[in-house]
Amino acid sequence: MNRKTRIAVVGAGLGGLTVAGFLQRAGFAATVYEQAPTFSRIGAGIILSANATKVLRRLGVEPDLIEAGIKAECYISRAWDTGATQYDIWFDAESERRFGGIYLNVHRGDLHAVLEKAVAPGSIAFDHRLIDLQDTGGGVRLVFENGTSAEADLVIGADGIRSKVRDVLLGPELPRFVSMVAHRAIFPARRLDGFKIPDCTKWWGRDRHLLVYFMTSRRDEVYVIGVVPRRSWEQDAASVPSSRAELMEDFAGFHADLQRVLEVTTHVSIWPIFDRERCDRWSGGRIVLLGDACHPMRPYMAGGGAMAIEDATILSRCLAQFDEPSDVYRWYETTRVERVGAVQRISIENSWMRGPTDTDWFYCYDPCVAPLTRPA
């Protein structure tokens, strides 16, 4: 595609910053519009598997990532009652060679600070909440809540699960509450008072599960996310404060090793979990979607962020390679839909690493060099 094509990316999340970083390296002047006034260190962690971290290495930010987070040594699945190990996977130099990348746990705020370095200075317009897209004949006008507007030839909607760009493309439709909520807490590891925990453990109950992991290489900050059923969610807020007592009540009866962690948690909040029905239409006209904007998924496989990063990589390759937007979209969607569909399905099943699991197809994939799939 002509490098003079004006590309607007809406949303400076994982996918938006990755696609902008690659497009800028390919010679496009991509601008990112982000609703938030700045990146903040909100209370949550994220796991990035090798299929995502190998991409970020290509954007030159791997050393910063390793500095910000922790290269986890292992991921262990344990039974809620007996504590028996159901599955474990160990990450070392050999696994990095095999998967082609590191396995990283990191605080989301720290990850964003790192990803910001992957794009050209000054190319993120903060405090720009998109409220409308208007066809001008020769392009698209992006209208922002702050009273400004901008023109582009092509708009990439990387604006997450409540995507405004998606609303314009496919019509407004609310995300679906999946009748589950997540307790989240972050606390200093010194509160464990010497009690040793692995870098990452997933505790598997019958209808609920809980992840505990370190977020820094100093192993001084612990993240807990415990997912439990909840019939409804009435609040408008993205999260509401909760308490250690509520968290412990929801995981009462779980193994003593977990209780030892839960009893020192602080700053517990509850977040509703949403997804959407699978929809394989991600583009039309001058608009194309990526990441949660087109396929938000339940967070049980820790794969949604990785899918956004993979989408961004494949989309940037298609934009650099093909001239016509229709060709770009067809190659991009055909390359992505099947893999994303598999991750969505496994996320709904909540089966990833519950027991013996083939992880190679997920971790070894390299979207920077994987063949693009020819459309039918």
Ligand X SMILES: Cc1cc2nc3c(=O)[nH]c(=O)nc-3n(C[C@H](O)[C@H](O)[C@H](O)COP(=O)(O)OP(=O)(O)OC[C@H]3O[C@@H](n4cnc5c(N)ncnc54)[C@H](O)[C@@H]3O)c2cc1C
Residues contributing to the site for ligand X (CB under 6 A): 10-16, 33-36, 46-47, 128-130, 158-160, 164, 182, 225, 271, 291-293, 299, 302-306, 308
C-alpha closest to that of 123 among 186, 29, 58, 193: 29
Residue 18: how many CB atoms within 10 A of its CB?
32
Q: Give per-residue burial for 211-243: e unless 16+ CB within 10 Å, then b.
A: bbbbbbbeeebbbbbbbbebeebeeeeebeebb
What 3-state class would DSSP assign to 322? coil
Tell me the C-alpha distance between 119 and 193, whole Å.
41
Measured from the CB atom, the residue of 205 and 299 that comes closer to ligand X is: 299
213, 300, 363, 365: which one is catalytic?
213
CB of 2 to ligand X, least distance (A): 26
Measured from the CB atom, the residue of 83 and 175 that comes closer to ligand X is: 175
Residue 375: how many CB atoms within 10 A of its CB?
13
Residue whose beta carbon is closest to ligand X: 13
* Angle at 17 (CA atoms; ends 290, 187), nearest 5 degrees: 100
Enter the tokens of residue 90: 């160990």
CB of 212 to ligand X, least distance (A): 13
Q: Is 300 a catalytic residue?
A: no
Question: Which amino acid is located at 89 in the chain?
Answer: I
CB of 225 to ligand X, least distance (A): 6
Question: Which amino acid is located at 307 in the chain?
Answer: M
Measured from the CB atom, the residue of 166 and 317 that comes closer to ligand X is: 166
CB of 297 to ligand X, least distance (A): 7
Measured from the CB atom, the residue of 182 and 318 that comes closer to ligand X is: 182
Catalytic residue ranges: 213
